[in-house]
A and B are shown apart, each in its own frame.
Chain A
Amino acid sequence: MNAPILKLFGLVLVLFAALLAMTSYNSVINADAYRENKLNARPQIEEQRIHRGAIRARDRSVLARSLQGDDDLYKRAYTPAGGLFAHAIGYDFLRSGRAGLEREYNDELTGERSELTSIFDELRGKQRVGDNVLTNLDPDAQRVAIEALQGRKGSVVAIEPATGKVRVMVSTPGYDPNKLDTKAGDGAPLFNRATQGGYVPGSTMKVVTAAAALDSGEFEPDSQVSGKSPIDIGGAPLANFSDEQFGNITLTQALTNSVNTVWGQVAEKLGHDTMGEYMKRFGFGTDPPLDYPDSQMRPSGVFDIKRERFLPLDSDQVDIGRVGIGQERLNVTPLQMATVAATVANRGVRMEPHLADRVVDVDGRTVERIEPKEAERVMDADSAAQLTQMMSNVVREGTGVGAALEGIEVAGKTGTAELNIAQRINQPWFIGFAPLNNARIAVAVTLENIQGAQSQGGAVAAPIAKVVMQELLK
């Protein structure tokens, strides 16, 4: 009977080999897929067991940190109370999930290392601890911006032109991330208007049109264009604000007084291809290169509501004359318009915006530094200098005087997208930068649905930009 016993042992070997194969498949071969399975809550729970790194403002004050709970899980606490940086920082909770910088820098904050490093750390008995993230955010300026918005829905973004460091990112209404698991509030507070809000840019778009006009060589700042109103643009009459009449005026004058008919003609003369090319260079048409979750950002461009998609930038389906004055179906984010201002301020070079400055480990060593990175040269330095001069006129004597600072020259452009002309409901805008020739800060300000006689960008948005710049230039 020994032969069948041997064969039986052979069968047991086969069965155990199958067990071994399944165990290998579960624990090693297919482990990553299982760990990413939607039903698997383990990775999230495990991360709550790690002492997550802190997120700090530019002045080193703590914005987010982990506190040990009753069980062996950590819980996130956000300071200052009330959610000063709610949208930029985001949140990280077991129940609500993860958003904002908490999500973008999750690997760093949880101290994720390569498997080999982890094993050595484990052998040395080192507990996994998250790294700290230092941001470029400025609590004082952020507070000033929120106060200036006075509870209205809107957004303020401020960027350092030379580096792309994001200093202010406001979206109102805000929310208190500490109370997120219980209640969010009204007015879509979780929605980050700075990166997700799609608004009609109005006349702030004329900065893009002017950049294309000057840099393409088709126009000079003192090129003369007729400013009579109304004129035919794209097969329909286009009028100036209050149907104001101008004679032959220079582009500088046309920007200072925000003359629609001039910029409509300029854009039509430049054509779809040139306008599309410069919009692309400014970053329209793609998700911004911000260190922020893709799902919480949207591109800017001409949006076809019926088909729920952006049209190609050089599409001949659009009325390019009206794109040139920021109408048509243009749909842009405050972050995009801040980038436009910052690019002009940085002598025509667009920098990638970034919220985080560096990642520092528990012992204070810098693990990773987010270096300034050039995204694209949009226009040559001369064109940028000419455009800067034109924009300074806007603040000195044009629609943007509300943003003028004492002793510091400011360049800017107002915008007033008319959403409902009969009820005088507007989307006021201001984009700009200061000081003029060595800009240290660029801003974009916009508010939703402002009603009344004083609801233009110059009256509503420019004063907000002023106080924010003032604070940041202190």
Chain B
Amino acid sequence: MNARNRELFALIPASLLLTAGFAAVFIQRDELLSTVSLTYGAIFLALCLAAHLVLRMTLPDADPYLFPLVAVLACFGLVMLYRLDEDFAREQAQWFVVGLIVFTATIVGLRQDHRVLERYRYVIALGGIMLLLLPRLGSPTNGAYLSFSMGPISFQPAELAKIAIVIFLASYLRDTRQVLVVGARRFMGITFPPLKHLGPLLAVWGTAMVLLFVIQDLGSSLMFFGGFLALVYVATNRISFVIIGLGLFALGARVLYAIRPTIESRVDGWLHPFDPELYNQQVGGSYQIAQSIFTQADGGFFGQGFGQALISVGDGPPLLPAAHTDFIYAVITDELGLLGAIAVLLVYLLIVERGFKTAMLATDSFSKLLATGLTAVLALQVFVIVGGVTKLIPLTGVTLPFISYGGSSIVANFILLALLLLVSDRARREAQEVR
């Protein structure tokens, strides 16, 4: 069976899951199992088929599992959002259409050779940094400059910036990886990169730190910097570079912790979520993380079932804030239990596996680094938000890719997927030709 036919079959479980999910929500609400649930499933399937046809025509050899895995997450998120608020689900579905259009445009535009991106690497890097600075014009949410409003549309530029920065780094490191390794010197048992090339790397570190200070968002910074270190490591195979980088990041974070009250309160809330004083603090504090954990504690092994999680009481403020964005993982754990949460993590892990596999198959350095970087930031994003929600690390607001509500997140992650598929198509075709 060729790749595209496998993809087509793999899409069937996704649409079945969607239909079953909507049916479950309807039954839970004691509504008649109307044709609406089937309609939703049909529309979603039609969207998936359209995307599938685009892939069939443009990237016939691309990885057959990436798109169906993403479709599973997307439809899962859609059911969750529908359960929380029908309006969220409707808007999210519209964003899916936009996302798929951008997805198609990216593929069509770059299908000849995605390596043209290298030519514009400085433009792209500059664009990414500009994007990140945009929210500085607006007002902060929860002390961090995360979103930028343009008319009715609120936009989180960090989502797009992460792709731009990965493209730039992949291209830059392709050029410099050899010299970074060859010129390295050992000093006090640690291998340091040559000074001449250390400069640009320090510049990247500096940029990440500046971003950290400017947007004051530890989560995004961690994501960018982690992606950067992953790329440096893969490009040079020098673990010492990563250790140096981590040390520098920790230094920057420590300084920020000392001078920025928002970061400090996040960390305190993480360390002592059930301290009554922090819990009852009006701004900041630990209310959100404590509620997130209480929500998960209701889940148990099998979960309470769709629609059973306690999100709000009457007309009062919600018990669990931001249930549709930051804390959607807590709601999933509550309603589908540990088993459901494991399933979601497993799907992400499979996507990551396909991403790295694509990177390993790719023959040119740029494609390898690009696929690695994109996969790494996706994995890190999942780690940062799920880790925050589960109290593994301090809570920072990034979205859960493909599941959380949010237009910019959907669009950006579809671009990310398109780039992975572009790399994959070329790599797999070349592998077949060699064989």
Show the binding face of A for B, using Cβ within 8 Å.
Answer: 1-9, 12-13, 15-16, 18-20, 22-28, 30-32, 34-35, 37, 39-42, 45-46, 49, 70-71, 73, 115, 119, 122, 125
Contact = CB atoms under 8 A, between A and B. Distances in A.
Contact of B353 (A9, A27, A31, A71): A9
Which among B27, B276, B297 has the highest number of chain A CB atoms within 10 Å? Answer: B297
At the interface, is chain A mostly helix, strand, loop or mixed? helix
A51 to B, nearest CB: 14
Given A5-B359, A26-B333, A31 B297 contact: yes
B338 A28 contact: yes
Given A5-B234, A39-B279, A26 B297 contact: yes
Nearest to A127: B30
Contacts of B276: 39
A35 B376 contact: no
Given A9-B352, A26-B297, 13 more contacts: A1-B365, A1-B372, A5-B372, A9-B353, A12-B379, A16-B349, A22-B391, A23-B296, A23-B333, A26-B333, A34-B293, A73-B314, A119-B302
Most A-side CB within 10 Å, residue of B279, B338, B368: B338
Contact of B379 (A15, A23, A49, A115): A15
B294 interface: yes
A34 B387 contact: no
Contact of A16 (B230, B274, B301, B348): B348
A39 to B, nearest CB: 5
A6 B310 CA distance: 41
B345 A4 contact: no
Nearest to B292: A26
A393 to B, nearest CB: 62
Contacts of A122: 305
A449 to B, nearest CB: 41
A23 B390 contact: yes
A119 B341 CA distance: 18
Nearest to B304: A122
5 A-B pairs closest in CB distance: A34-B297, A22-B390, A26-B296, A71-B314, A31-B297
A244 to B, nearest CB: 62
Contacts of B334: 27
Q: Which of A12, A28, A70 has the most CB of B within 10 A?
A: A12
6 contacts: A5-B368, A19-B382, A25-B390, A32-B297, A40-B297, A42-B295
Interface in B236-293: 237, 274, 276, 279, 290, 293
B310 to A, nearest CB: 6
Nearest to A115: B300
A37 B293 CA distance: 11
B300 A42 contact: no
Contacts of A26: 293, 296-297, 333, 390-391
**In the complex, which range does the number of interface residues on chain B fall in?**
35 or more
Nearest to B237: A4
Interface in B355-398: 356, 359-360, 365, 368-369, 372, 376, 379, 382-383, 386-387, 390-392
Interface string B383-415: 100110011100000000000000000000000
B235 interface: yes
Nearest to A15: B383
Contacts of B118: none
Contacts of B310: 42, 45-46, 49
A37 B297 CA distance: 11
Contacts of B365: 1
Interface in B311-370: 313-315, 319, 333-334, 337-338, 341-342, 345, 348-349, 352-353, 356, 359-360, 365, 368-369
B345 A40 contact: no
Contacts, number: 136
A5 B297 CA distance: 36
A226 B382 CA distance: 91
A3 B313 contact: no
A34 B348 CA distance: 28
B261 to A, nearest CB: 23
Contacts of B313: 45, 71, 73
Nearest to A94: B313
Contacts of B360: 2, 5-6
Contacts of B368: 1, 5
A3 B315 CA distance: 55
B360 to A, nearest CB: 5
Nearest to B238: A4
A18 B348 contact: no
B91 interface: no
A12 B353 CA distance: 9
B40 interface: no
B274 A8 contact: no
Contacts of B333: 23, 26-27
Nearest to B275: A39
B235 A42 contact: no
B95 to A, nearest CB: 26
A27 B296 contact: yes
A8 B337 contact: no
A466 to B, nearest CB: 51
B233 interface: yes
A45 B356 CA distance: 46
Contacts of B234: 1, 4-5, 8
Nearest to B369: A1
Contacts of A119: 302
A42 B372 CA distance: 43
A12 B352 contact: yes
B356 A9 contact: yes
Contacts of A13: 349
Contacts of A45: 310, 313, 319
A340 B360 CA distance: 86
Contact of B237 (A1, A18, A49, A71): A1
B55 to A, nearest CB: 24
A16 B345 contact: yes
B276 to A, nearest CB: 7
A209 to B, nearest CB: 51
Given A39-B290, A73-B314, A8 B376 contact: yes
Contacts of A39: 274, 276, 279, 290, 294
Contacts of B376: 8, 12
Contacts of A42: 294-295, 298, 310, 319
Nearest to A49: B310
Contact of B383 (A3, A6, A16, A28): A16
Given A12-B349, A19-B392, A39-B276, A27 B235 contact: no
